[in-house]
Each structure stands twice: as C-alpha cells, then as structure tokens.
Amino acid sequence: MTQARWLVILIVATVLLFILSLALGSIAIPLEDIGRILMGQSPRTPSWGDIVIQIRLPKAVTAFFAGASLGVAGALMQTFFRNPLAGPFILGVSAGASLGVAMVVLITGTLGGALLAGSSLLGDLGMTASASLGATLSLLVVLFFARRIHSNVTLLLVGIMLASFTSSLVSILLHYSIPERIQAYIRWTFGSFGGVTLTQLYLFIPILSFGLLLAFLQSKSLNALLLGEDYAISLGVHITRARLAILIAAAILGGTVTAYCGPIAFLGLATPHLCRGLFQTSDHRILFFPLMLMGGSLALLTGLVASLPGTPFALPVNAVTALIGVPIVLRILLAKQRTVSMFQ
C-alpha cells in the first residue's frame, strides 16, 4: 500500500476515534447530538452539552496532542541515540517531573497536602506546576552535560543515572509519607488524559506546538544523523546545535505531557516503529505527520478503552498503553530485524 493511502487511513482513523471519544463513555451520546453540540446548538438532553464541552472535548484534544508529541519525541530519541528501544523519557525528564509532583504532594503540610492531592482545580494546577518545574530542572541538567559531552552513549548514561537518582529521591519521600499522600501520588503515576481543563489547554497546546515545530525543523539533521555524525558534518550540519535542538524538543514534548497527563508509557516507544513499518521509510520529513497522527490515534484509542464505555468504571491509562504497546514493540522487534539493524 502506498504512503498516500496509509496517510489517508491514519487521518480517517484519527477523526473517527476523536468522534467516538466524544460520543462514548459512561453515558452514550448520539452522533447527531454531538454534531449539534460542536456547532453550538442545543442537544436533546441539555446535560449532554456540558459533558461534551467540559469533559470529553478537552480529554480528546489532550489525548491527541499528548500522543502526537510522544510519538514525535520517541522518534527523535531513537534516531539521536541510534537505539530502537529509546523513548521520549530516556533523558530523565519524566523522572524529574515525577520528583516535582512527589515533593509537593508528599512534603506539603496537612492543609497543603489536602489541597494539592485532591481533585480540585487548585490540586490539578499545583501538581501540573510542580511537574513542569521538575521537568525543567531535569532538562537544564541534561543540557549542561550535553554541552560538555560529545558522546551520545555517555549522554544516554547520564540520562539513565539522572532518572535513577530522582527515582531514589521519590522512593525516600514515599517511605516517609502517610498513606493518603502516597495514594495521591500513585494516582498521578497511572496517567490520565482527563485532568486537563479547557483553560489549561490554552497553555498545553502552544507549548507542545512549539516543541513539535522545533522537532520538524530538525528533520534534515535527523536524516543526516541516521548515517553517522561524520556524514552529517559533511552535509553541513552543525552537530552541537543540532544535538541541543533535538534534546530540547524531545524534553519539551515529553516533559509537558508528563506534567499535564502523568508518565504515559509505551506510546513514544511503539509509535515510531509502527510508522516506519507502514511507510517503509526512515525519512523524518515524510514520517513527521504520520507520527503525529499515529501517536494521536493510539492515545485516543487507549483513552477510549480506558474509559470502559457503558460502565461507570475506568482503567488507568498506563495499564491500557502497556497492553497495547508491549505486543506491538515485541512483534516488530522480533519479526522485522531491519528495524534494529537500521540503528547499527
């Protein structure tokens, strides 16, 4: 099947999943009424309008942008480190965001803990701000080493050590915290696309759009890096600037998604492999928009499955992403050895 046909299929799948995310949930809303609500008209049941606009629409938009960002960030890291198992959180940015949330939720006093660990708007904003600060500090540490370390393998080890260090701090905080705060932190680690409000989208979308634009501008450098740094230099690529731009883009995308949605697993790892397999190319200029569509559609699918339509219950998003992502990655790595050899 040609690349154009796969692109059309991805577009159609994304639109269908987006519409289904608005229509399905604990209460099923007819598609006719979904159309009325989106066009500003009144549905047959007035409460449906609030459900779609206030809850399901922000959740669906968040899922699409989060999945698109993780898919692109995963491709950046896999190419940068020439490692098919690299993901958007390999630099420790996600661990930094987790530490930020842990420090606020687990250390604050009784009153502050009740506010920040609760489900109120103040609690959501508090955890988002703390996660953003933790991710930013981790990014600054990575950039500090990136300017002084010219080996990608060594930089990868720095990211792993940073993640281990921050994870150990989180473990210490958990050990000395009361059960209520531990439970609030664990709920955050489950991941969710439903915690971003319409107001927060005005910040969430521009930040991710900037990260995606920065990533797209590195397409030429990424294609050159696939063949090695010496070849990239011969093409006129400024290696230091390219490395920093790629790292910043990946950190912005991964850190922002983690701050707003929690640490979403496997989407950033599985999406690049699926796109390369479908489109039979490693050209980042061709893969960029398919990565966004594939990542967004997978996030919409996992969010839809996690909501358990027709029931009042819901599953953690990370439980669903693991169920979907692990078989995909194992199948690709075992059945298509060229996916691995491409990075060797």
Cβ atoms < 10 Å from Cβ of 233: 12
Q: Domains in the chain: how many in total?
A: 1
Query: What phi, psi does 72 have (nearest 5°)?
Result: -65, -45
- The pLDDT tens digits of the residues spanning 304-334 come to 999 888 888 888 898 898 887 788 777 766 7
- Given a cut of 60, is residue 262 above it in pLDDT? yes
Asked whether 7 and 19 are in contact (CB, 8 A), the reply is no
User: What pLDDT score does 71 carry?
Assistant: 94
pLDDT, mean of residues 184-197: 84
Report the C-alpha gap between 344 and 83 in whole angstroms. Answer: 8
The gap between the terminal CA atoms of the chain, to the nearest Å, is: 27
Cβ atoms < 10 Å from Cβ of 121: 11
User: What pLDDT score does 117 carry?
Assistant: 40
pTM of the model: 0.85
pLDDT category at 11 given cuts 50, 70, 90 is: very high
The parent domain of residue 243 ranges over: 3-78+86-341
- The mean predicted confidence, pLDDT, of the chain is 83
pLDDT category at 340 given cuts 50, 70, 90 is: very low
Asked whether 293 and 14 are in contact (CB, 8 A), the reply is yes
- Given a cut of 90, is residue 212 above it in pLDDT? yes
From the CA atom positions of the chain, what is the Rg in Å? 20
pLDDT category at 1 given cuts 50, 70, 90 is: low
- The domain that holds 137 is classified in CATH as 1.10.3470.10
- Given a cut of 70, is residue 233 above it in pLDDT? yes
* Chain centroid, CA 102 distance in Å: 19
Question: Exposure of 188 by Cβ count < 10 A (0-12 exposed, 13-18 middle, 19+ buried)?
Answer: buried
- Could you give the C-alpha distances from 272 to 83, 168, 211, 263, 328, in angstroms and in order? 12, 30, 17, 18, 11
Report the C-alpha gap between 14 and 75 in whole angstroms. Answer: 20
Q: Check residue 87 and give left, alpha or beta (phi > 0: left; psi -120 to 50: alpha).
A: beta
The region of weakest confidence among 170-174, 220-224, 287-291 is 170-174
- The pLDDT tens digits of the residues spanning 27-81 come to 899 999 999 998 888 888 888 988 999 999 999 999 999 999 999 999 998 888 8
Asked whether 30 and 23 are in contact (CB, 8 A), the reply is yes
